[in-house]
Amino acid sequence: MNRIGGYRMKQLPQLKKENGVFNLYVDGKPFVALGGEIHNSSSSNLAYMKEKVWPYLKGLHLNTVILPVYWELIEPVRGEFDFELMDGIIEQAREHNVRLVVLWFGLWKNGRSTYAPGWVKKDYRTFFRARYQNNGISDTISPLCEAAVQADASAFKEWMNHLKKVDGDTHTVIMVQVENEIGFLGSDRDYSDFANATFAAAVPPEAEAAYGISETWTKSFGEDAGEYFMAYHYAKAIERIASAGTEAYPLPMFVNAWLEQFPWRAGTYPSGGPIAKVMKLWKATAPTICLYAPDIYLPNFAEVCAEYTAGNDNPLFIPEARRDIVSATNVFYAIGKFDALCFAPFGIEDFLSPPQDDGGGIDFGLMMALNIDMSAFQLNGTGPYLARSYELLGNMMGIIHKHRGTGKMTGFLQNHDNGCLLSLTEYDLKLSYKRQQEGKPIAGGLVIELSDNEFILAGIGFSAEFLPKRGESAAVGYIRIEEGKFVDNEWIRSRVLNGDEAAYGVGVGSHPAALRIEMYKFE
Ligand code: N0T
């Protein structure tokens, strides 16, 4: 902690890479967000938040809520700002003792410009739209429109300036996502006359720096030229917006991605958004952005985690995850294997609320048109499982922090490996998964080596067997196996399972749970 004139200043939230691991510091202490993102429109009304959102978040053991701040509502008239709504939301978050990650819904949200203020929308000559190939008009303000980027950047700066005033000492808001799932939907690039002329010119120095190329987009990127072109222009726009915000108040800023999906053509997912393929260009163009966050609705969770952390160049931060029951398991895997800094299913206020239409706010028509598997959006009883996963993880977070980046913690996941052999320091650990019944979470979890002979296993639906290292002649045995739980990072044991319960390997049933195991070797 810094002291300025005897006054204790809490450190600004910040992301740091230390000894090869990314740490997010909040008030000077490492932090992992066990989060949830609320529906797009929920934070547009304080009374709605009070009645329909906060009461249902209580039981989930969240430490972080992810919610939008809308350009449209804070600058309804050009140059006139109204922050009353956001002040109220921050107040509510403090009452509920959670941190916030705010999403700047400015020029772009899921590719489109629906959250731009009316005065921006109506002045379509100044704030021009991107066009499709046949010259058809889109509802996306072009990222090549300087005036629009400028207007967004100054609104964003105004907001960050205000945020600093009301939250600069408290840090209820810990991070900011700039725009949401940016990119151009419906085409690989903007085909307006202005964009066509820019596209025909040589690539900018950022592309040269990233890829060592200096030809045109088409010569350099072939079929993917449109996508790289858009990636550059979105990244450039984001850099201007994010750096304007940072000048006012330097919270860590990130962008999120709507991932590539079938049929794998830019435009079926927002073209130019920060998918892994174009991340290098994004990094060269938008240095203010501290991380690239995947919204993981696709079933290949493990592969996406691996892709976004490849080269240990980007921390895993998942601001949106599927709503179905796999999320209760995926969170263990993301934290155990990839040192995730955030996990957050989408539409979190539905998870413990009485049954209602699961899809509130989702454009089902669009999803159908895009051929998207709707199971990602169905709850089917996820809430109570997720709550137990978060409760367990939250109570052992100190132990997790201690082991992040040490090589003494990893994860396993049924959807991915279907059983595996993990190599620990003194043992090999064989994991097999229970065939989970319909409606139960898939199997998976994490393992922590507290010492060479002491382990924590936490997760759902697996059994584990400790084996000697390959080729080793010693036999291995249990000193003891304890079931139990953590309270504030303190292990509180319940039964000791040295008999029938562990005769054929130790395990965890269909609900999130933990075991503490001590092993020994003999010969
Ligand atoms: C997300 C959310 C919200 C299986 C959809 C996902 C949120 C936005 N978009 O509920 O609208 O604001 O960021 C796009 C769908 C991805 C493909 C799913 C494949």
Smallest Cα–Cα separation from 393: which of 442, 447, 458, 481? 458
Give 60-113 as a 3 state SS string.
HCCCEEEEEEEHHHHCCECCECCCHHHHHHHHHHHHCCCEEEEEEEEEEECCEC
For residue 509, give every residue at least 6 positions away whose Cβ sits within 8 Å of its Cβ, in sequence order, or none: 434, 460, 461
- CA–centroid distance, 293 to ligand 1, in Å, is 13
Burial state string for 465-493 with b = 16 or more CB within 10 A and e = fewer than 16: bbeeeeeeeeebeeeebbbbbbeeeebee
**Contact in structure between 183 and 273 (CB atoms under 8 Å):** yes
CATH number (domain holding residue 87): 3.20.20.80
Instruction: Pick left, alpha or beta for residue 19 (phi over 0 → left; psi -120 to 50 → alpha; otherwise beta).
Output: left
Same domain membership, residue 317 and residue 263: yes
pLDDT in tens, 476-514: 999 999 999 999 999 999 999 988 887 777 889 999 999
Backbone angles phi, psi at 450, to 5 degrees: -70, -40
Mutate to test the pocket of ligand 1, among 40, 67, 105, 181 (most ligand atoms within 8 A of CB): 181
Say if residue 2's pLDDT is above 50: no
Q: Within a domain: residue 447? A: yes
Same domain membership, residue 346 and residue 297: yes
Return d(Cα 253, Cα 246) in angstroms, integer.
8
Same domain membership, residue 358 and residue 281: yes
Mutate to test the pocket of ligand 1, among 37, 271, 295, 362 (most ligand atoms within 8 A of CB): 295
Same domain membership, residue 376 and residue 230: yes
Same domain membership, residue 38 and residue 83: yes
Same domain membership, residue 220 and residue 72: yes
Mean pLDDT of the chain: 94
Residue whose CA is at the smallest distance from ligand 1 atom 5: 362
Number of domains in the chain: 2
Number of alpha carbons in the 13 Å side-chain half-sphere of residue 352: 16
Which ligand 1 atom lies nearest to the CA of residue 180?
13
pLDDT in tens, 123-136: 999 999 999 999 89
- CA–centroid distance, 20 to ligand 1, in Å, is 31
Q: In Å, how far are 191, 299, 324, 325, 333 from 377, measured between CA atoms?
A: 33, 12, 6, 10, 20
pLDDT in tens, 221-231: 999 999 999 99
| Alpha carbon distance, N-terminus to C-terminus of the chain | 52
pLDDT in tens, 130-167: 999 998 999 999 999 999 999 999 999 999 999 999 99
Q: What is the mean pLDDT of residues 404-431?
A: 95
CATH number (domain holding residue 489): 2.60.220.20
Which domain does 189 fall in, by range?
2-395
- CA–centroid distance, 197 to ligand 1, in Å, is 32
Mark which of 395, 428, 459 sits at the end of a domain.
395
Backbone angles phi, psi at 321, to 5 degrees: -130, 165
Mark which of 363, 395, 427 sits at the end of a domain.
395
Return d(Cα 99, Cα 27) in angstroms, integer.
11
Q: Within a domain: residue 48? A: yes
Mark which of 372, 395, 418 sits at the end of a domain.
395
Mutate to test the pocket of ligand 1, among 260, 367, 371 (most ligand atoms within 8 A of CB): 367
Q: Within a domain: residue 403? A: no
Band of pLDDT at residue 437, cut at 50, 70 and 90:
confident
Return d(Cα 3, Cα 10) in angstroms, integer.
9
Same domain membership, residue 436 and residue 358: no
- CA–centroid distance, 257 to ligand 1, in Å, is 9
Return d(Cα 288, Cα 238) in angstroms, integer.
9
Same domain membership, residue 424 and residue 367: no
Same domain membership, residue 137 and residue 100: yes
Same domain membership, residue 233 and residue 369: yes
Backbone angles phi, psi at 429, to 5 degrees: -115, 120
pLDDT in tens, 83-134: 999 999 999 999 999 999 999 999 999 999 999 999 999 999 999 999 999 9
Which residues form the pocket of ligand 1, taking CB atoms under 6 Å from any ligand atom? 40, 110, 180-181, 258, 261, 295, 297-298, 320, 346, 362, 372-373, 376
CB atoms within 10 A of CB 96: 14
pLDDT in tens, 363-376: 667 777 767 778 88
Q: Within a domain: residue 131? A: yes
- Helix (H) / strand (E) element for 326: namely helix 326-338
Return d(Cα 100, Cα 64) in angstroms, integer.
5
Residue 260 has a pLDDT of 93
**Contact in structure between 236 and 153 (CB atoms under 8 Å):** no
Residue whose CA is at the smallest distance from ligand 1 atom 18: 297
Same domain membership, residue 487 and residue 446: yes
- CA–centroid distance, 346 to ligand 1, in Å, is 9
Q: What is the mean pLDDT of residues 430-436?
A: 90
Which ligand 1 atom lies nearest to the CA of residue 181?
13
Same domain membership, residue 417 and residue 375: no
